[in-house]
Amino acid sequence: MNIAAWATLVPVAVALVAAAAAVLIVIVVVKGTASRDRATVLKAVAEVIRAVRGSRR
């Protein structure tokens, strides 16, 4: 494989792994919480994901 292929493939693979990790985090967290606490937990997970991505609101 040439450099251009790697330069395209690596960022796409990293994005897919990060997205899969975010989905797995949400699934694990939601299964272990009561329904009244889910909004707070999901906000915290979203904040962690934003911090990892480097964007803040």
d(CA 10, CA 14): 6
Instruction: Say if CB 42 and CB 30 are below 8 A apart.
Output: yes
In tens, the pLDDT along 3-54 reads 988 998 998 998 888 889 888 888 888 888 888 988 998 898 888 888 877 7
Predicted model pTM: 0.65
Angle made by CA atoms 5, 8, 12, in degrees to the nearest 5:
135
